[in-house]
Each structure stands twice: as C-alpha cells, then as structure tokens.
Amino acid sequence: MSSLAPFPETPLIEGIRPLQIGNVAIGFPVVQAALSGYSDWAMRVLARRMGASYSLCEVMLDQFLVGLKDRRRTQHFLYNTPEEHPVAGQLMGAEPEQFSLGAQKLVEAGFAVIDINFGCPVRKVLGRCRGGFHLSQPTVALEIVKRTRDIVPASIPVTIKMRRGIDDTTESRDRFYEILDGAFAYGIAAITVHGRTVEQRYIGPSRWEFLREVKRHVGDRIILGSGDLFSARDCLRMMQETDVDGVTVARGCIGNPWIFQQARALFAGQPIPPPPSLFEQREVILEHFRLAEELYGEDRAGVPMRKFGIKYSQLHPESLAVRAEFARVKNLQEWKSVLEKWYSEDLPGIYPQYSELESECE
C-alpha cells in the first residue's frame, strides 16, 4: 500500500477534471460511497490508502445521533481520523427538525462534508418515511435540505444522495427535478444521483443516460454518478458517457479496495494493474482486521469482519470454499488460520464477479 501521487490538475484524459465539493478539494474523482453496515473507519482508511480521494461513512439515523452517548460500544459510528480526510458523514431521517439536529452532531464529530440520504431503497427504511421515501414528498425533502443547510456552518459543504425517482412515472420525474433544483437553490454543493429508481432497488441496470440528462440540466453544478460501478473501466466509462463530475463506487469496492488503485492507473492513461495476487490480498485482509480491532476492540472485531471476509473471497480463485471459511470466523486467530490455509501460495487473483442480488443500502 504505497503512497499515491496527487491527481494532476491537467487531466490526462480529456474531459476529466479534479473534483471539488464546495471549498473541499477532492482531486481524483472516483470516491467511496456510503454503505450501510460497511463503510466504517477501517474500510474507509483502506480505501484511502488504495487510492480513494474521498469517502462517506455509513448512513446514520438522525434520532440515533441526537440521543447518542459517548460510550465505548457506540463510539465507532462517529470515529474519523486525519488520515482519511476529507470524509463525509451521511444522515438519514424523517422529520426536518430532528434531521438538522443530527447534522449538527456530525459537524461536532469533525466530518468535512454533511451528506443527506434521499436514496436508500430498503423497505424498512421506506416504511418509516426515510431515505428514498423523501423523493415522493418534495416539500418535506426541501425543508430538510433548508434546515440542514441553515444549521451546518457555511464552511462545511452539504450534499445529497438521490435516486432518479420513486419509479418511472412522470410525477416521480417531476418531483425529482423539483428536489434537485430546490436543493441547489438552497446552497447544496453537490448531488449524487443513482441511476436506478427506489422501486427498482438493485434489480435491473442503472440508467446512465439519465445521469447525462441531469448533468446537462444543471450545467456547472456538481453531479456525481452512482450505479453499476464494478470495475475501473466502469468508472471511466460513466464519466465519459454522462459528463458527471465524479463517480461514487458502492458495492464494487466492498472487499475490493484495489478498484481505486486500478482506476487511478486507468485515468492516468496507464494499463490497469492485474487483480491482486494472493499475497497482496493477504496483506490487505490482515491489515483490515487489525484496523477493525483498533476500532471495535479485540473482543468485538470478529463478527463484523465476517461480511468483509466473504467479500474478499470473491478475488480468490477458490472463492466459494474461501467464502465458507470466512463466514465462520470469530476472532483474529481464526482469521489468520483462513489466511494460512488459503493464502499461503502467491497465486494470481481474479476480478470479482457480481452476479448475486445484493441489498446494501447505498
């Protein structure tokens, strides 16, 4: 995990520029998305070391933040360090007043950007009038935007994550643009648009042509694209096909932080590095567990790391067998045992396959 050269001010590929969100200079325009249950401090630090110039923490509920006490078992939610900055705190909720109070908690925790989640398609979230549900009610959505922008200091950018609407009806499309235009009018610095509807969840392709339409509509305002970014080539292709200002990698970077390294090479006009060998994977996987121990404590890191082990297994040529082993890990010793058994020979890795239906909240 070597140090990274800064993204050049003069782009090596025509049309690609360094990303800027408000007064926060991001640089390399491929960033790590907020991923519920995944994008904790450990994952974000690894992404940063592997080439992500910016990341977002996993989404947090406003009511949870408002009532949050300074306790060992919950401190990981707001934990961030200088190594990973700039990093954004993402917030989700239902009521405008409580939402803004939650945003204030993220400011106090030191996040460089505050991101509003109007995109989560998970059913239990929608049922509680949160996330993507707000795309059905522009008045409430824009009240949340206004209150959040008012309570967050002017020096800290506020951004939004949206999907292209609740569904593909004309009414849904009109509401999307009402929220989009209204949010920019209230001083939102950037908006990330996922190319699927809330109703689609993760089924069917992300509609990239809609991103191109949105970018044409907003002109010089900052739009980031999201949806179906599973490789470095996907990242470059989305930017070239849609003219968005940056892309946020979600499911494609879970267990595969090398995607940022590969994207940096591609954007610099270099060949894409091959998939990491098993020894390269072993080094990063072991470091991920060490970071998780630092975040959660030795006695609690094992269980949350299982889901990462399962994702890392996708890069192993014996992925199904390795996946089964990681799924049973309880502690560092068992983690090391899996590495000793399956990563003891420096074989070539493989690019991960994304054929299964997944439902992370992004």
Give the model confidence (pLDDT) of 12-69 as tens digits: 577 789 999 999 999 999 999 999 889 999 999 999 999 999 999 999 888 788 777 6
- Report the pLDDT averaged over residues 260-271: 93
**Structure confidence at residue 63 (pLDDT):** 77
Are 221 and 158 members of one domain? yes
- Report the pLDDT averaged over residues 137-142: 94
Are 287 and 228 members of one domain? no
Asked whether residue 321 is domain-assigned, the answer is yes
- Report the pLDDT averaged over residues 85-94: 92
User: What DSSP assignment string belongs to 138-176?
Assistant: HHHHHHHHHHHHHHS-TTS-EEEEEES-SSSSHHHHHHH
Does the pTM exceed 0.85? yes
**Structure confidence at residue 68 (pLDDT):** 73
- Report the pLDDT averaged over residues 260-275: 93
Provide the token pair at 168.
């593909």
Which burial class, exposed, middle or buried, applies to 108 when counting CB atoms under 10 A from its CB (0-12, 13-18, 19+)? exposed
The rounded mean pLDDT for the chain is: 90
> CB of 9 within 8 A of CB of 227?
no
Residue with tokens 């977002």: 56
Provide the token pair at 89.
């705190």
In whole angstroms, what is the distance from residue 34 CA to residue 57 CA? 5
- Other CB atoms within 10 A of residue 213 CB: 15
> CB of 351 within 8 A of CB of 231?
yes
The identity of residue 294, as a single letter, is E
Which residue(s) pair with 90 in the sheet?
115
Are 237 and 288 members of one domain? no
User: What DSSP assignment string belongs to 56-90?
Assistant: EPPPEEHHHHHT----TTTGGGT---GGG-SEEEE
Q: Does pLDDT of 358 surpass 80?
A: no
The DSSP bridge pattern shows strands 222-226 and 30-32 to be unpaired
300: pLDDT confidence band, cut at 50, 70 and 90?
A: confident
Per-residue pLDDT tens over the stretch 278-288? 999 999 999 99
> How far apart are the two ends of the chain, measured CA to CA in Å?
26
Provide the token pair at 157.
């950018």
**Listed residues 267, 292, 314: the one ending a domain:** 267
Are 75 and 159 members of one domain? yes
Q: Does pLDDT of 350 surpass 60?
A: yes
Q: Which domain holds residue 321?
A: 278-342
The DSSP bridge pattern shows strands 113-118 and 158-163 to be parallel
Are 182 and 206 members of one domain? yes
Asked whether residue 361 is domain-assigned, the answer is no
Q: Where are the alpha helices (DSSP H) in the chain?
A: 41-49, 62-66, 96-108, 123-127, 138-151, 170-185, 208-218, 232-242, 258-267, 278-296, 302-312, 319-326, 332-342
Are 71 and 136 members of one domain? yes
**Listed residues 267, 287, 308: the one ending a domain:** 267
Number of folded domains that form the chain: 2
Are 154 and 64 members of one domain? yes
Asked whether residue 47 is domain-assigned, the answer is yes
Are 251 and 168 members of one domain? yes
Q: Which residue has the higher pLDDT, 99 or 230?
A: 230
Are 238 and 283 members of one domain? no
Are 245 and 297 members of one domain? no
Provide the token pair at 354.
């994304």
Residues sharing a CB contact under 8 Å with residue 273, sequence separation 6 or more, in sequence order: 258, 261, 262, 265
- CATH number of the domain that residue 310 is part of: 1.10.1200
> CB of 90 within 8 A of CB of 66?
no
**Structure confidence at residue 73 (pLDDT):** 64
Per-residue pLDDT tens over the stretch 315-325? 999 999 999 99
Per-residue pLDDT tens over the stretch 199-228? 888 888 889 999 999 999 999 999 999 999
**Structure confidence at residue 70 (pLDDT):** 66
Write phi, then psi, for 226 (nearest 5 degrees).
-150, 150
- CATH number of the domain that residue 90 is part of: 3.20.20.70
Asked whether residue 13 is domain-assigned, the answer is no
Are 225 and 327 members of one domain? no
Which burial class, exposed, middle or buried, applies to 357 when counting CB atoms under 10 A from its CB (0-12, 13-18, 19+)? exposed
CA angle (25, 33, 15) in 5-degree steps: 50
Are 310 and 203 members of one domain? no
355: pLDDT confidence band, cut at 50, 70 and 90?
A: low
Which residue(s) pair with 116 in the sheet?
91, 160
> CB of 57 within 8 A of CB of 90?
yes
Asked whether residue 316 is domain-assigned, the answer is yes
* pLDDT over 90 percentage in the chain: 72
